[in-house]
Amino acid sequence: MGTLVRLLRTPKGAVGLILVASFIILGLLAPVISPTNPQKQNISLRNRPPLFHAADGRVYLLGTDELGRDLLTRTLFGVRLSLLIGFCAVACSGTIGVFLGVLSGFQGGVIDFVVMRAVDAQLSIPLILLAMMWIAFTKPSLPNVLAVIILAGWVQYARPIRAMTLTLRSSGFVEAAHAIGVPRWRIYLRHILPNVLPLAVVISTLQLAGAILMEGSLSFLGVGLQPPAAALGLMVNSGRRYIDTAWWICTFPGLALMLIVLGVYFMGDALRDTLDPKLRRLG
Amino acid sequence: MLGYLMRRIAISVLVVLLIAGFLFAMLNATGDPVLLLVPENAPPEQVEAVRHSLGLDRSVLFQFGSFLKRLMSADLGTSWRLNRPVSDILPYYIVNTIKLTMPALVLTTILSVGMGLIAAVRRNGIADLLATLAASIGNSMPIFWSGILLIMVFAVKLRWLPAGGTASWKSYVLPVVSIGFYMAASLARTTRTSMLEVLDADYVRTARSKGLREGIVILKHALRNAALPIITVWGAQLATLLAGTVVTETVFSWPGIGRLSVEAVMGRDYPLTVGVVIFFAVVFIGVNLAVDLTYAWLDPRIRY
């Protein structure tokens, strides 16, 4: 709770927190507050501009897309989807990455070598290429998109967490715990884990933004979620064909994506400064 | 130093082998590529003939062996769709990507280091605020979206610049700006943070107190010491730049290696996919090695 209050005191933290919180609320409430169904088409109302008043008295705040679907509704559901994918991906890749990072740093030896070479190998392929390959060789679907983002994400935790574990391993309190015969698993849980968590939280904010952008790019390239899903990247891509007649179709979903990521970055910056001033250099 | 270099090169080779193995496993784990190549309802004899001609009827181990052997001799096979050797196809696209990324790299480096420097020197001033804000926004914009916005404004509305192609120098402006803006953001942030740290250092105060001009103090005494993190991020940004070409080249219909990779993957052209991925991997690893070696040159305290 104290961290939250301190976050709100910095301008960046306050703006970030408000942005992220509002998008989370919008995403959660999307089925309740949306004017209509995200898949409901109305061919007679295609490509209508923002603030369009229909004959039946309904107002389309952000206009309609190329199939006459309400853009506001689709953007809200897109936000929901982006956040869902982002949080799931971070939770999974964070768990895997922290586990392997701590294991690698603490055990050393063969485990360390294998994990670190896997990290090297993975970091030497651009993430987007890895993702495209994975999806081309499997099938574009939500689980596959999630899987590839998780696969790409764990390395970002493993390396810094391993480095920190190495430092912790040789610190006085861990050696003391060893000396009085505390079992290994207990040293992991009680002495190492709490000390690497702030670092993991800071990496997580960067990763959350990265995962959301990655899903957007994949969907945009056609190897992520498939139509008619209300994914923001997909909406930008389908709006691309109408940029000369209907600018709003790709503008609003992209804007929503940008604001979410901006909020997450702001929050991450503030969080980093609040949790541990020593971590400032990471960014 | 030599020992370190040898060790790094050995590890790099190992990593490339790992990637090759990973690629090979993926290719084998995802169904029968032969069925994608032959027409539907092809007779079994034809399927077998294609399989045999591609060597896909041998044992997996044998296939992996010959796969590695061909990689070693830089023989990347023949593209299934374009029907030309992959090693003949790649150079044209690589050159196009270099033509796009080099101006972007120069632009971003000048822009972001300049922006970061000014922001750090005029800390908490208007320039600092604007630079930090611009960097945050640049960082958050999906690169595919900013590209489309640029096309929308400068190609569709104002009609100043073309939306795609490689016809004239004008075609370079939008993609270069699109990549540049995205890349500049994190580099500017790092420059600022890193400069702020050294500007408080004793040797900077000493340099000032002995009456050196401020320009010399900033550029020679501060920037050189702040360079290490900047170079790290710069190296990482090179990687981002390459990955960014995948999206940017697609948005701007640029015939480079990024768009080629999308086409290879979408068309399930395995030899071409393998060729592109190996190319990216080798460049990535090379850049990382170069960045590490630059450290030693910049900071005499680092000895390997």
Q: Is B182 exposed, middle or buried (0-12, 13-18, 19+ CB in 10 A)?
A: buried
Does the pLDDT at position A280 exceed 60?
Answer: no
Q: Which residues of chain B fall short of a pLDDT of 50?
A: none
Q: What's the pLDDT at B304?
A: 52
Highest-confidence range of A153-162, A267-276, B51-60, B135-144, by mean pLDDT?
Answer: A153-162
Over the stretch A94-140, which tens digit does the pLDDT of each residue have?
A: 999 999 999 998 888 899 988 988 887 777 777 777 777 777 677 77
Q: What's the pLDDT at B123?
A: 79
Instruction: Return the percent helix, strand and coil in chain B, to nearest 5.
Output: 80, 0, 20
Query: Do A244 and B189 count as a contact with CB atoms less than 8 A apart?
Result: no
Mutate: best of A10, A113, A137, partner B, most B CBs <10 A: A137
ipTM exceeding 0.90? no
Query: Do A265 and B229 count as a contact with CB atoms less than 8 A apart?
Result: no
Query: Do A128 and B246 count as a contact with CB atoms less than 8 A apart?
Result: yes
B28 touches chain A (CB under 8 A): no
- Reported as a pLDDT band with limits 50, 70 and 90, residue A281 is very low
Choose the weakest-confidence range: A221-235, A251-265, B83-97, B207-221.
Answer: B207-221
Q: Give the CA distances from residue A43 to residues A10, A48, A65, A67, in Å, rounded to whole numbers and listed in that order.
A: 48, 11, 10, 6
Query: Do A254 and B148 count as a contact with CB atoms less than 8 A apart?
Result: yes
Q: Give the CA distances from residue B201 to residues A148, B29, B191, B226, B266, in Å, rounded to whole numbers and listed in that order.
A: 44, 56, 16, 11, 53
Averaged pLDDT for residues A16-38: 89
Average pLDDT, chain A: 85
Distance from CA of B52 to the nearest CA of A (A): 22
Helix (H) / strand (E) containing B253:
none
Q: Is B39 exposed, middle or buried (0-12, 13-18, 19+ CB in 10 A)?
A: exposed
Q: What's the pLDDT at A282?
A: 41
Does the pLDDT at position A248 exceed 60?
Answer: yes
Cβ-Cβ contacts under 8 Å, A244 against chain B:
156
Q: What's the pLDDT at A283?
A: 37
